[in-house]
Structure 1
Amino acid sequence: MRIPLGAHTWRFTGGVSAHAAGSAAAARWRAARTRLHCSSGPEQERPEPSVLRHLTSKIKATGPISVAEYMREVLTNPVTGYYVRNNMLGPSGDFITSPEISQIFGELLGVWIISEWMGAGRPKQLQLVELGPGKGSLASDVLRVFSQLQSVFAEASVSLHLVEVSPALSELQAQNLTGKCSQKADAEDEPVYRTGRTTAGLPVSWYRRVDDVPTGFSIFLAHEFFDALPIHKFQRTEKGWREVMVDIDPEQPGQLRFVVTPSPTLASSTLVQAHERRDHVEVCAEGGVIIQQLARRIAEDGGAALIADYGHNGTKMDTFRGFKGHQLHDVLASPGSADLTADVDFSYLRKMAGGGVACLGPVTQRTFLKNMGIDTRLQVLLRNCTDSSTRKQLISSYDVLTNPAKMGERFHFFSLLHHSRLGKPKKPEGLKLEKKPQTAPLPVAGFTELRFS
């Protein structure tokens, strides 16, 4: 039978029972959309026949592919991948992120990084590592905070490390962060494929994998990174868990469809938890591996990780969706022309992190930013601003970031910390930590209140 789900159709085979009526499923899918939608005109189709041709050839040769493989091919294929070819950020792209909305967002994350570095005893080395750095806006705002507090880092070696698979975006990041002071590696397969220096003289390096970043005390930032990693989708059936796959629609050869496997797959047998109560589950195995890598590095070398993304705590089901021109887009239509994303399951990340690190959160973006002092920072900027249009922009951006109906409660923050960080905290100079009964047992910036003194 067929059950409409948003703009496309799920086809269930082998007597699979649906977990919701079509209208309810569509409503859930619409409610799950969490990208910030900007107003735009009528959608202009930009078909990518080469991507579809590649996918259909693969499916004809090997059979239906997993949703994870579909996402991986569509987003990061070295030749046709959406992230490899496009600059998709900003009003003229397919979506916009918090660093592009307001400089305050990146500044407060910069304060969080400094607070965690101080709380760790001011190590002599600080590697700022950003996963999926977009245009470089977040890193730029963070480094601006660092430059304003140069005396704090007087005896520390600070460097920036960017994990980026997109050649197009790495070029843009290099322009924004280093101007003309960057160069590519001689060989394409080098772990560090680009190096440079910021205008302030800080070294910047680009990598394709987290494992290629040098060891040492590191603070990792992952803003809207995990939601774009490939997911496996699983459906509960009368015969047990089955994996949802992508296949060619025999009635419409030029289109793709979802199908459910008639028998278990390796993924459905290993990735779904025995105690799972939901009827439809999305699991990001690749995200779990990266979390394990971050947790191991933090446990061995010190540091922290801050993950900011759309997500949930093991409660949602169907969140896989596409975005094109700031509008929802059918995930199977014109593959390669739209962004694909799925909400992050923070309960899964917590499980994969294991006991070697402390996990804090998730807390809403509104909670995190207010605990970091966004109200105070806004008032400072408004006092120093005389231009009425700029003042309106500051207030509007603040509203977008913190309003529960906008990004305030759709976005969540989750952190990995070295266990020593939850001992008696060292009070950072110039900051006042106040204990509040929230996620963390002890004051930790952003997860409990942090105020400027």
Structure 2
Amino acid sequence: MSTPIAVRIADQIRNGGPISVAAFMTQAMFDPRDGYYATKNPIGAGEDFVTAPAVSQMFGELIGLWCAQVWMDMGKPVPFHLVELGPGTGQMMSDIVRAGRAVPGFLDAARITLIEASAALKMVQGRTLTPMGIEAVWMNRIEEVPGGPAVFIGNEFLDCLAVRQAVKQDGHWHERMVGLDDGGAFTFVMGPQLGQEADLVPDRLRDAPDGTLVELRPGDRQVVEVLSRRFAEYPGRALFIDYGPAQSEAGDTFQAIRDHQKADPLNAPGTADLTARVDFEQLGKSARESGLQTAGPVEQGDWLKALGLEMRAAALMRSSPEKKSVIARQVMRLTEPDQMGSLFKVMTFSAPGLPKAPGFAGDG
């Protein structure tokens, strides 16, 4: 299916040659006129995918209490920035605020900021948060958040950052790119040998045999660098929850999701969500090299249980016994290994000197 973005990318390739996977992904997702996030509210049962906050209010409530504990661990600064990266429909922030009202002073001190590139989702978030009396400001980039103590939360944020791909050939890494076949359809092609960018290849995979495909995540490193500079000056902690392996793995994870089904990521750009798995080993390595303290990754199911998910579920069942089976299914969806419990991992980055992050057995 041809789309306005497909036409423009095809023209670009005809005029200038193949483009990186990252360039293709960025245009398909973030084109301000026709990109996926510019035109769609993709989150929910009737849309393209469902995220954990939509599964159950308990997810956001526990994160809200986590944020409140972090605020207390930082010495209850007034004010502080409570920042959500890629806030989806606004449901998680709504649940965070509802839980946070139980902690004296927390919401009075919070300056809520939403980092969102999608105009369509900004409207959805406004409709979700305004009735709760939540005052929030929207910004396009994490770098725009004013200075000061801060807590950052990103649920399924990193997986949407553009990735590059490389394939090992004759002992060297070459970029995998997007070109056109003889019929004018998008296809993967081999590009030039990587130069300094080869440093982005995960350490664990650098000696892999010819034919190995790896994914490079420069966007993750940029986020780490922004947080590192910030946390060197102000106290703060960042929480990331996303899907991906705890150790670097080879293979193509670049995928499209349309109507809850996997689709060809090169077909009809702008009409499907494009993502790739997060490499938590590389993410943590970059953070530590930048001077950040890290905790995790741990599996989402274990982390939620450590925060008291099962106790919260039991309380909800007592107050709404008619919803007992629904709540039980929600807990299973969030924690079971064959659901979201193992695939999704949790990691934190912190300014030096803060106490251990809630829900983690240790640092590293």
Fold equivalence (TM over 0.5): yes
> SS of the counterpart of 1:368?
helix
Q: Is the alpha carbon distance of 1:277 and 1:265 closer, same or farther for their aligned partners in structure 2, counting shifts above 3 Å?
A: closer
The answer to whether 1:321 aligns with 2:262 is no
> SS of the counterpart of 2:24?
helix
Equivalent in 157, 167, 173 of residue 109 of structure 2: 157
The answer to whether 1:347 aligns with 2:281 is yes
- How many Å apart are 1:119 and its aligned residue? 1.4
Distance 2:28 2:196 in 1: 20
> SS of the counterpart of 1:116?
helix
Partner of residue 164, structure 2:
232
Amino acid at match of 1:403: E
- How many Å apart are 1:274 and its aligned residue? 6.4
Q: Is the alpha carbon distance of 1:273 and 1:319 closer, same or farther for their aligned partners in structure 2, counting shifts above 3 Å?
A: closer
Distance 2:87 2:196 in 1: 30
> SS of the counterpart of 2:232?
helix
> SS of the counterpart of 1:407?
coil
Q: Is the alpha carbon distance of 1:309 and 1:316 closer, same or farther for their aligned partners in structure 2, counting shifts above 3 Å?
A: farther
- Give structure 2 stretches of 5+ with no counterpart: none
Distance 1:84 1:216 in 2: 31
Amino acid at match of 2:121: L
Equivalent in 102, 105, 125 of residue 173 of structure 1: 125
Equivalent in 124, 137, 145 of residue 213 of structure 1: 145
Distance 1:226 1:106 in 2: 18
> SS of the counterpart of 2:239?
strand
Distance 2:156 2:179 in 1: 28
Q: Is the alpha carbon distance of 1:394 and 1:267 closer, same or farther for their aligned partners in structure 2, counting shifts above 3 Å?
A: farther
Root mean square deviation, CA, Å: 1.7
Whether the aligned pair in 2 keeps the contact of 1:242 and 1:268 (CA below 8 Å) is no
Partner of residue 135, structure 2:
203
Whether the aligned pair in 1 keeps the contact of 2:292 and 2:352 (CA below 8 Å) is yes
Partner of residue 189, structure 2:
259
Spell out, residue by residue over 1:102-125, the C-alpha distance to the aligned partner (whole angstroms, 9 max, x if none): 000001111111111111221122
- How many Å apart are 1:277 and its aligned residue? 3.4
Whether the aligned pair in 2 keeps the contact of 1:385 and 1:391 (CA below 8 Å) is yes
Partner of residue 83, structure 2:
129
Partner of residue 35, structure 2:
81
Whether the aligned pair in 2 keeps the contact of 1:48 and 1:336 (CA below 8 Å) is no
| Higher percent of residues as helix | 2
- How many Å apart are 1:377 and its aligned residue? 0.7
> SS of the counterpart of 1:405?
coil
**Count of paired positions:** 356
Distance 1:79 1:288 in 2: 27
Amino acid at match of 1:216: G
> SS of the counterpart of 1:406?
coil
Partner of residue 207, structure 2:
277
TM-score, scaled to structure 1: 0.76
- How many Å apart are 1:405 and its aligned residue? 0.6
- How many Å apart are 1:285 and its aligned residue? 0.5
Partner of residue 317, structure 2:
382
Partner of residue 309, structure 1:
242
Computing the radius of gyration from Cα coordinates, the structure with the larger value is 1
Identity of aligned residues (%): 34
Distance 2:2 2:301 in 1: 38
- How many Å apart are 1:317 and its aligned residue? 2.4
Whether the aligned pair in 2 keeps the contact of 1:224 and 1:310 (CA below 8 Å) is yes
Amino acid at match of 2:175: E
- Give structure 1 stretches of 5+ with no counterpart: 1-46, 180-197, 423-442
Partner of residue 268, structure 2:
334
Partner of residue 4, structure 1:
none
Amino acid at match of 1:166: S
Spell out, residue by residue over 1:239-282, the C-alpha distance to the aligned partner (whole angstroms, 9 max, x if none): 411000000111x22x1100112x31446445335662342211
Distance 1:267 1:88 in 2: 36
